[in-house]
Amino acid sequence: MTKKWYHSKVLYTNAIGIAVVLVTAFGYEDVSAEILAIEGSILALINCILRLTTNQG
């Protein structure tokens, strides 16, 4: 039996990560491309950790 799509921690993590990247990109004038790259890397790392620790679906 697979879990429902809305029970996915990865989905919510990605939604929050996308929101953070968008706020950073459009909410501040002095954000460099380096900071955006770091945020993307952190999001990718969190996704990998969640995928490795999942036990359903």
The share of the chain scoring above pLDDT 70, in percent, equals 89
Q: What mean pLDDT value characterizes the chain?
A: 82
Task: Tell me the CA distances in angstroms from 11 to 30, 47, 52, one per residue in order.
Answer: 29, 9, 15
**The pLDDT of residue 31 is above 80:** no
Per-residue DSSP letters for 16-53? Answer: HHHHHHHHHHHH-SS--HHHHHHHHHHHHHHHHHHHHH
- Confidence tier at 10 by pLDDT (50, 70, 90): confident
The reported pLDDT for the residue numbered 28 is: 67
Is there a contact between 17 and 43 (Cβ–Cβ < 8 Å)?
yes
- In the chain, where the domains are located: 6-53
Q: What token pair was written down for 21?
A: 């990247």
The reported pLDDT for the residue numbered 45 is: 92
